[in-house]
Chain A
Amino acid sequence: MTAMPEPLATPPMPTPGAAATQAPRLEAAGVSRWYGQVIGVQGVDCTVGPGITGLLGLNGAGKSTLFKLLAGQLRPSKGVVRVFGHDLAKNRGLYRRIGFCPEPDALYEFMTGREMLVYLLRLQGFDGKEAARRAADALERCHLSDAADRRVAGYSKGMRQKIKLAQAMAHDPDILFLDEPFNGMDPPSRHESMEVVRQLGREGKVVMLSSHILHEVEAMTSTILLMQNGRILAEGHISDIRDLIERHPHKVRIECDRPRTLAAHLLDGDDVLGVRVESEKSVIIETNLPRRFFRRLPQVVLDQDLKVHSYSTLDDNLKSLFEYLVEGN
């Protein structure tokens, strides 16, 4: 039997040369969490290494609950979360190594951005001078220096998201949990914040980022965990997920002047699984090879001299992918 490591007040950091022999930075072993009869998270096993990992799932999939468990805000009903090999629930000192950007729009409204960061840094154990220096640094990295001395109550949605991100990274943690960090941001702010997160990943930090938007995660990382109904449904490279999306049947509605003619000719190809003439002006095509289908479609339209008014995909990619995976399982 292997003895469990003693809880440490300040667990030692792994040295770069010894990385391979060190315990994983973040590990969830059989983590479940129930709220009475309701399952929040069920039997999650995962090991997360340096770099950015995307946690992808629909709203209500359990992403936030998993983050709260991994960040130590909630205790697992079953299982254990280990940070550098130590049980997080038994060692509050490990919280120094963790940065958490929560999803709710909750901030200390009466403080300025700088004051909020200094306050939270002081609680991390930094003295006033060092806390002020780190706060200024984090504000600058998050492009909030200009608004640093304004009260948080007057911040825009994008600025509020940025200050949450700043407080998560200000104490230079090794592991960061960012729960929907780009929600409600305008495109420039989103771009700036994404670059900040990418930089954290490049610095070798463990960054877990949750989102229900595939392309948002795709822009940040190629490593993802798919979550549905409180379980990890799939994990791996984003290209695998893209392939899955490509392989699973897509529905496309095409509005044109002669839908029956279009349907008949499209059925000739092996990229079409089925057709349904919806009305005298539209047809729904089911395809399992969307790329090939969309390459062939213009040729059919030209050959038959059809007038296409519009076309649209009926599936939300991520949602339909989850349904596909659940059916497959």
Chain B
Amino acid sequence: MTPVERAPATMAGPAVVALVCAASLREMIRRRTFVFLFLVCSIPFVLSLIWRSWGSEHLDAASFFTNLVSSVYLQILVYLVALAFGVPTVHSEIQGRTITYLFTRPVNKLWVYAGRLLAVQITGGVLLAASLIVCFAMLTAGNFEVVTFEFIKAYLNHVVLVLLATVCVIGICAIFGTAFGRPIVWATIYCFGWEAIVSKFPSDLRLYTVNFHIRNLLFDDNDVVAGLMDFLRDMLVQDAEVSAATSVGALAFILVGAALLGGLIFGRREYVIS
């Protein structure tokens, strides 16, 4: 066998993504943050339990669930998951210095990044999806009259949007982890500054937030109990209508753009592993 025959073919991009993703998934579920977030994601279950025990007479299941998604998932949980999993997408390998092994393989860094990102998006998505399923079970168990077509439709809409928000925000947080030395600071400012505040700003700036577009696509958003910011905003400005298609397009752009931008930074930036 000649040396040329001995050399294997360069691995195809999707195969690299699948391989890195599978290895990364194994790593993620062993992290302590996974256990922590698992506990945090059980908060909606506790709230549902409280609703079942004391609040079901005052608020119907659909309205309770819409409020739960709007004020717990889309305000807190999505961002916590993104901070915990998105920021370390490649940052954990850089900090752990195992990135050396990936940098000295004949594979494109963009595929390595895509594999890592896919793994964190799956992990974050599965955590929140599991939390939403448990909530559904809690709302409907022995309470089948609430399971109407409208409720199922709204539920599925909410689940899809929570997952979409999760993968989008994880993608953006991963960029911070790729580009900055201390990414958690910038990512926190983004999540709980830009997203949480600017998305409710009475200006066109909110069009540049994930949160605004997600909320724009939520069914039955009128049922959401308005917060102080919403109240002030309603007083100050007349909402400019943004079509659902625009929001879907914006979210798709963020999803793909964040992955490409992060991969591009990862591919071009040099990390000094000492």
Q: Residues of A with Cβ closer than 8 Å to B?
A: 9-10, 12-13, 35, 64, 68, 71-75, 92-96, 98, 100, 102, 104, 106-108, 110-111, 119-120, 122-127, 130, 167, 172, 174
Contacts and interface: CB of A to CB of B under 8 A. Distances in A.
Contact of B100 (A9, A106, A110, A127): A106
Given A73-B104, A106-B100, A122 B19 contact: yes
Contacts of B104: 71-73, 95, 98, 100
Interface in B1-23: 2-4, 6-11, 16, 19-20, 23
Contact of B8 (A92, A94, A108, A126): A126
B8 A13 contact: no
B26 interface: yes
Closest 3 CB pairs of A and B: A13-B3, A125-B8, A106-B97
B3 A107 contact: no
A118 B155 CA distance: 43
Contact of A73 (B3, B27, B273): B273
Given A92-B107, A102-B273, A167 B11 contact: no
Tell me what chain A mostly uses at the interface: helix, strand, loop, or mixed. loop
Interface of B: 2-4, 6-11, 16, 19-20, 23, 26-27, 30, 96-98, 100-108, 270, 272-274
Contacts of A126: 8
Nearest to A106: B97
A108 B105 contact: no
Given A9-B10, A96-B106, A106-B96, A74 B19 contact: no
Contacts of B26: 110-111
Contacts of A102: 97, 100-101, 273
A105 to B, nearest CB: 8
A95 B22 CA distance: 23
A12 B102 CA distance: 24
A75 B270 contact: yes
Contacts of B107: 92, 123
Contacts of A120: 101, 105
